[in-house]
């Protein structure tokens, strides 16, 4: 009786022959092209590992084996290296930009860049931080993880008016729902007196634009 893997091996063999075309496919979308190429490469890396257990030798029509497999893993190494280089350059550019900004300049930032700048601030302070960048995140823009494993959440408000108490209340509810140890709201135009009063005594930090820039300047001096 033919097993499922016996049927899949020939299919994977044929598909793997076109790995370079499939890895380049994400370049059609300019957004996150490099990251998606790495994801695609990782998917085909799993397929290639499965093919190592094939009872039959690979039949490569385009690039002969083992050259095809060698090139495949070299491409993967180059993609991952390029990702780290890109992240390093982007991080440096973001920090340099933050060091030269004022609180008023924050209002001119695209929302995504403001959130990424908030995430970078936590990274510069030794935390793990990632921008959610997705819908359905319940108002959480950045997720921060401390070295002791505690999780904190951050919401960024690039508003021209102060954030009111209802927003702070809602965010606190999200923090409890996500079981986060701490929550921070960074608002370019600050907070209402009611919002500040309501947050007292709770594991919440409310940073206005001036405080946000002040924290960047403190890092610069260090």
Q: Does the pLDDT value for residue 1 go beyond 60?
A: no
CA–CA dist 148, 29 (Å, integer)? 38
Contact 145, 127 (CB under 8 A): yes
- What per-residue confidence (pLDDT) applies to 62? 77
Terminal CA-to-CA distance of the chain, rounded, Å? 69
Burial class (CB in 10 A: 0-12, 13-18, 19+), 105: middle
- What per-residue confidence (pLDDT) applies to 35? 86
Top mean pLDDT of 22-26, 46-50, 128-132 is at: 128-132
pTM for this model (two decimals):
0.75
Q: Does the pLDDT value for residue 27 go beyond 80?
A: no
Model pLDDT for residues 72-124, shown as the tens digit of each residue: 999 999 999 999 999 899 899 999 999 988 889 999 988 789 999 999 999 99
Instruction: State the fold for domain 102-221.
Output: Trna Endonuclease; Chain: A, domain 1 (3.40.1350)
Model pLDDT for residues 156-214, shown as the tens digit of each residue: 999 999 999 999 999 999 999 999 999 999 999 999 999 999 999 999 999 999 999 99
Contact 72, 101 (CB under 8 A): no
CA–CA dist 204, 183 (Å, integer)? 5
Contact 40, 82 (CB under 8 A): no
More confident residue, 3 or 69: 69
């Amino acid at each position: 009786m033919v097993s499922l893997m016996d049927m899949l091996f020939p299919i994977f063999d044929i598909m793997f022959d076109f790995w370079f075309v499939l890895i380049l496919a994400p370049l059609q979308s300019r957004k996150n092209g490099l990251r998606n190429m790495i994801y695609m490469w990782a998917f085909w890396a799993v397929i290639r590992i499965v093919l190592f257990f094939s009872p039959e030798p690979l039949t490569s029509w385009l690039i002969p084996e083992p050259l095809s497999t060698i090139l495949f893993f070299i491409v993967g190494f180059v993609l991952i290296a390029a990702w780290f280089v890109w992240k390093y350059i982007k991080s440096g550019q973001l920090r340099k930009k933050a060091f030269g900004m004022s609180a008023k300049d924050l209002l001119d930032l695209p929302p995504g860049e403001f959130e990424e700048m908030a995430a970078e601030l936590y990274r510069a302070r030794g935390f793990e931080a990632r921008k959610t960048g997705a819908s359905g995140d319940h108002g959480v823009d950045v997720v921060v993880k401390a070295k002791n494993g505690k999780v904190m959440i951050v919401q960024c408000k690039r508003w021209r008016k102060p954030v009111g108490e209802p927003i702070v209340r809602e965010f606190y509810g999200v923090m409890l729902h996500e079981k986060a140890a701490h929550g921070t709201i960074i608002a370019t135009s600050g907070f209402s007196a009611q919002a500040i009063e309501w947050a007292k005594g709770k594991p919440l930090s409310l940073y206005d634009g001036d405080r946000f820039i002040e924290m960047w300047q403190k890092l610069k001096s260090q």
